Amino acid sequence: MKIIPAIDIIEGKCVRLSQGDYAQKKIYNESPLEVAKDFENHGIKQLHLVDLDGAKSNEIVNWRVLYEIATNTSLDIDFGGGIKSTKSLKIAFENGAKQVTGGTIAAKNPELFQAWLDAYGADKIILGADAFNGRVAVAGWKEQTEQDLIGFIRDYQLKGVQNVICTDISKDGMLNGAANLLYQQILEELPNINLIASGGVTNIQDLEDLRAIGCDGAIIGKAIYENKITLKELELYVD
């Protein structure tokens, strides 16, 4: 199972939110690059980088942070937040993203998301499937749709999606465990999807549980920043 630390960016700084609430912002480091280098120094190979300013706007905002990390580390970066146009998609790739995650665009403009999937391939385009009470949420989690989460993922799997990052918003940043039952249900119904769990990971046992369920990867954020999981511990899980 891939171990993927997360860096969330607001105004160029490394922050974390609770349940996607921008009013509950906590700044952990003024330098995302410093954080990324620390990850790299502990053997981490992948990074989940989220432009929270972009998520609330209609375009990528913190592309300079992406460029800085991509050019000063060897981390494979998947980038999300504000990717709502082909222009922003190209900016992300041109500034060092290895993969791009699209959530809002997949829900609101499926034709464009499909065009990206066809043009760049399933290894480059990740489906962002974030949900609250089983319904897909978009626009920086500020808007809940009527789309059923599993149906949403299934539809895109049939269209060629292979990789899905799924966040149960109620779990995100709360440090009370991951949405194991949700992920188990997704993988029982869609066993061939590469499911990356995001939100709620609090300790090493959570990682063990997600691996046992069959998740392809686990994104870890606040647990690292609050020292619930140390980077030294994560070294044991990195190939």
H or E element, residue 126:
strand 125-132
Which tokens in the block code for residue 88? 């922003």
Active site residue 76: no
Q: Answer whether 54's CB lies under 8 Å from 13's CB.
A: no
Tokens 């090493």 correspond to 204
Point out the catalytic residue in the list 78, 130, 168, 216: 130
Task: Return d(Cα 158, Cα 236) in angstroms, integer.
Answer: 35
Handedness of CA 96, 31, 57, 132 (dihedral sign): positive
Which tokens in the block code for residue 57? 């706007």
Task: Return d(Cα 136, Cα 130) in angstroms, integer.
Answer: 6
Q: Answer whether 122's CB lies under 8 Å from 83's CB.
A: no
Active site residue 21: no
Which active-site residues does the annotation give?
A: 8, 130
